[in-house]
Amino acid sequence: MGNQISGESLLKAAKQGNIEYVKFLLKNKVDPDHNYGKSLCIAAQNGHEKIVSLLISHGANVNIKRTSLEAADWKGQTEVVLLLISHGANVNQLDTVNNI
């Protein structure tokens, strides 16, 4: 398995909405915040609400650079935005270009 279990695999599974593989990777201790939380960001952007919830339940930080909240909002993923906020996403945190 070696190379198959990685943060990059988690990013790809989150992007594709492959919840079973996301579960497998998290069970095998892949860091949900690998690469500054890009897996959470991409899942949020694509509206994969169950994956967002799963990543959060495994310790993903909802406030890494606010990118997950920004991405979900930018793509009109209202349910994901509400989910992130309900798990402590800071709507007043500076974004990636230092705007509120």
Candidates 52, 18, 19; CA nearest to 37 is 52
What is the model's pLDDT at position 93? 74
Q: Indicate whether 96 belongs to any domain.
A: no
Helix (H) or strand (E) holding 23: helix 19-27
pLDDT in tens, 52-96: 999 999 999 999 866 899 999 999 999 999 999 999 998 887 555
Candidates 88, 78, 27; CA nearest to 56 is 88
Number of domains in the chain: 1
Q: What is the CATH number of the domain that holds 80?
A: 1.25.40.20
Q: Indicate whether 67 belongs to any domain.
A: yes
Q: Indicate whether 93 belongs to any domain.
A: no
Work out the number of other CB atoms within 10 angstroms of the CB of residue 100: 8
Q: Indicate whether 99 belongs to any domain.
A: no
Question: Domain range holding 74?
Answer: 2-86
**Would the pLDDT of 5 be above 50?**
yes
Q: What percent of the chain has pLDDT over 70?
A: 87
